[in-house]
Amino acid sequence: MAESNEAPDAALDRAHAHTLAWLASLDKRPVPPQASVDAVVATLGTDLPEQGTPAEEVVDLLATACEPGLTAIPSGRFFGFVIGGTHPAALATDWLVSAWDQNSGLRRLTPAHSAVEDVASAWLLDLLGLPTGSAVGFVTGATMSNFTGLAAGRDAVLRRAGWDVAEKGLQGAPRVRVLVGAERHDTVDLALRYLGLGLPEAVPADDQGRVRADALLAALAEDESRPTVVALQAGNVHSGAFDPFDEVVDAAHEHGAWVHVDGAFGLWAATSPSYRGLTRGMERADSWTTDAHKTLNVPYDSGLVIVRDPAALRASMGMQGDYLIHDEAGEPFDKVPEISRRGRAFPVWAVLRALGRSGVVELVDRLCRHATAFAEGLTAIPGTTVVNDVVFTQVCATFGSDARTDEVVRLLLEDGEAWMTGSTWRGEKVLRISVSNWSTTEDDVARSLAAVRRVVGRL
């Protein structure tokens, strides 16, 4: 029976043991889950017990019932969606985050977290080549980061048009025009929906999914007087391609537009001398989105929103409350949609501190090197075509027909050695590989390519 003074030692010891067993299993276990939702529910049981259960027994029960239904997402052979693993420094720190239980919205309540957030923010701006003094908000992911950056943009362009959204809302406001590339991420549209802006105007993209500069410049010139937000992309989820920032950011500003960049994984290209060229001109935008739970390999939920003008971000996200003890330096919660939140900056700081500047560059370069190795290895498999220019961490391949590609995706999941996702790009079924995990080795790439060769042989 759980007592209010129950010591956590036994439960934490069990969690530690299950953690080590899970991590040790990653190299050997199939990457896809081996049990269905129903099977896990059956093992867990559905009746809420009348009596309590000691915490350590609950941990054992949960870990045992869930283990077969877990996907080896932290495995070096998981290449689905765009998903990072967890660096050891971030994982260990994330345990401390839960134990410390800091509600990190207020500087005076949680000075340690604010200190770490300030230091990590400055490091991030430096590494990503973004303007010193920009505001950095620690949000749950790129979706909320897009929401936050675009909110600041919406409010700023309406303010310039003489309309205060905070006071008047959107009803009766001048219509805001939002220009996006045809291949922006779906979460940009979702964020615009949250923001009451409706569907954006899609500008045609080129064969790699980059917004066409000429088309965007023409769209900007079309309606000079409308408040305008432009959402660009650093890293297309299929091709990895980057929008031509250098050709469009200044023009967008000349038309009075706010420029937001969705760089959920691609923003990290700016940290590496070898890939920085892809992001040229990006630093002149007004707001940027990136994830820490992708390329930086911290646990979920961790995204970052960066806004050049801290006052613009505070105007959209800030809050005053009589019972809150405000600090002159500004509050962490003035930069994000949430008030209460966990100490998200701790694991971000920990990975940056563990890797150091050269380690971050090495991480980005390594992910790209593995992507190139995938492209070369796939091209050598008969009947296999890599359909994108592999400029960063993303690789898309086809296998002769949509039906054959679908079958490769299905057989790969059955094989279990690696996880890659099927998708449709430019009207064609593709197998999509995203290299985002810090722990992926050359051996993982070789084993995964062998799996593709194996299943193509079975077609």
Q: How far is the CB of 302 from ligand PLP (least distance, A)?
A: 8
Q: How far is the CB of 142 from ligand PLP (least distance, A)?
A: 3
Judged by beta carbon, residue 82 or residue 257, the one nearer ligand PLP is 82
CA proximity to 370, closest of 392, 387, 399: 392
Judged by beta carbon, residue 267 or residue 317, the one nearer ligand PLP is 267
Element (H, E) at 137: strand 135-139
Judged by beta carbon, residue 278 or residue 455, the one nearer ligand PLP is 278
Residue type at 3 in one-letter notation: E
Judged by beta carbon, residue 244 or residue 377, the one nearer ligand PLP is 244
7 class by beta-carbon count within 10 Å (0-12 exposed, 13-18 middle, 19+ buried): exposed
Q: How far is the CB of 227 from ligand PLP (least distance, A)?
A: 24
Q: How far apart are CA 391 and CA 405, in angstroms?
A: 23
Q: How far apart are CA 211 and CA 185, in angstroms?
A: 12
Judged by beta carbon, residue 110 or residue 187, the one nearer ligand PLP is 187
**Residues near ligand PLP (CB under 6 A):** 82, 141-143, 185, 187, 235, 237, 262, 264-265, 291, 303
Judged by beta carbon, residue 110 or residue 295, the one nearer ligand PLP is 295
Judged by beta carbon, residue 117 or residue 291, the one nearer ligand PLP is 291
Q: How far is the CB of 189 from ligand PLP (least distance, A)?
A: 11
* Contacts (Cβ under 8 Å, ≥6 apart) of 135: 306, 307, 309, 310, 313, 314, 335
Name the pairing type of β-strands 394-398 and 385-386.
Answer: antiparallel
CA proximity to 54, closest of 103, 5, 92: 5
Q: How far is the CB of 419 from ligand PLP (least distance, A)?
A: 16
Judged by beta carbon, residue 185 or residue 212, the one nearer ligand PLP is 185
Q: How far is the CB of 432 from ligand PLP (least distance, A)?
A: 12
Return the residue nearest ligand PLP (CB atom): 141
Element (H, E) at 429: strand 428-434
Element (H, E) at 437: none
Q: How far is the CB of 241 from ligand PLP (least distance, A)?
A: 11
- 172: phi > 0 → left, psi -120 to 50 → alpha, else beta; which? left
Q: Which tokens go with 415?
A: 């094989």
Which residue has 């090495």 as its token pair? 362
Q: How far is the CB of 202 from ligand PLP (least distance, A)?
A: 16
CA proximity to 120, closest of 411, 280, 354: 354
Judged by beta carbon, residue 100 or residue 194, the one nearer ligand PLP is 194
Q: How far is the CB of 12 from ligand PLP (least distance, A)?
A: 29
ω before 223 within 30° of 0 (cis)?
no
